[in-house]
Amino acid sequence: MSSIIQPSIEAIGLSKRVVDATGELPILQNIHFTVQAGETLAIVGASGSGKTTLLGLLAGLDTPSEGTVKLDGIDIFALDEDGRAVLRMHKLGFVFQSFQLLPHLTALENVMLPLELRRDADARAKAEAILARVGLASRFGHYPKYLSGGEQQRVALARAFVTEPPLLLADEPTGSLDAATGEAVIGLMFELNRERGSTLVLVTHDLAIAARCGRTITIEAGRIV
């Protein structure tokens, strides 16, 4: 297990606005909350409420109009984009609804990639071990197009967990899956998270999934309610 100190998350006055043909559109408005190290938090809300935008801000994948995010006390928006990328490499795992696997890489290569970016000498062995752990020992050489949706999401989980990040962010991780496959994937995600003791922030519209987390935040029209 990684010895990296687990981070807490602090969202401080986060607001996000975009400009469209009708003028300025508020997406998030003055969001404040803290997630303690090792906590599991669900962010719930209707489609269009701003929860996915919030998750992107927590990861530093998007920039706020106002406010900031601190990960383990580090103000991520005081860093430039390269600095945020390095921070993500060492502290974050991210699971996307649409998997975001690289189509020209095999399952094994997709999982090895974040380790190789960190110049990990044991990238192959670690990737093989986590893929076997998620039940894909027979799929190392398969490209994403030859994997089912559930298998692709398990590869995505393996990729997110392989670096043993202290923080895992997941955006509707079962949204592209049927109910039975989604239940299997979400069970595996919580199991891996418990094994590693990482902090988990999960965006979902499914209240049954949210209930498996220790705490829930509800977003309506860009605000916490």
- In this prediction, residue 47 has a pLDDT band, given cuts at 50, 70 and 90, of confident
For position 6, what pLDDT does the model report? 44
The three-class DSSP label of residue 18 is strand
Contact criterion met (CB below 8 Å) for 190 and 16: no
What pTM did the predictor assign?
Answer: 0.87
DSSP code string of 21-72: TTEEEEEEEEEEEEE-TT-EEEEE--TTSSHHHHHHHHTTSS--SEEEEEET
Burial of 221 (0-12, 13-18, 19+ CB in 10 A): middle
Mean pLDDT of 190-208: 89
**What CA–CA distance (Å, rounded) separates 123 from 111?**
9
Q: Is 60 exceeded by the pLDDT of residue 154?
A: yes
Complete DSSP assignment for 108-146 = HHHHHHHHHHTT-TTHHHHHHHHHHHTT-TT-TT--GGG
Q: How many angstroms from the chain centroid is the CA of residue 186?
A: 13
Task: Give 102's contacts (C-beta < 8 A, 6+ positions apart).
Answer: 109, 110, 113, 144
User: How many other β-carbons are positioned within 10 Å of the β-carbon of residue 96?
Assistant: 19
Average pLDDT over residues 136-162: 93
2 has a pLDDT exceeding 50: no
The pLDDT value recorded for residue 1 is: 44
Residues in CB range of 216: below 8 A, 6 or more apart: 41, 42, 43, 44, 210
pLDDT digits (tens, 9 = 90+) for 67-76: 999 998 999 9
pLDDT bracket for residue 21 (50, 70, 90): confident
What count of other Cβ atoms lies within 10 Å of the Cβ of residue 19? 8
Q: How far apart are CA 207 and CA 205, in angstroms?
A: 6
- pLDDT at site 44: 95
pLDDT over threshold 70, residue 3: no
Neighbours of 25 (CB within 10 A): 12
Q: CA neighbours within 13 Å on the CB side: how many for 182? A: 14
- CB neighbours (10 Å) of residue 7? 22
CA angle 214, 215, 218 (to 5 degrees): 150
Contact 27, 45 (CB under 8 A): no
56-90 residue pLDDT tens: 999 999 999 999 999 989 999 999 999 999 999 88
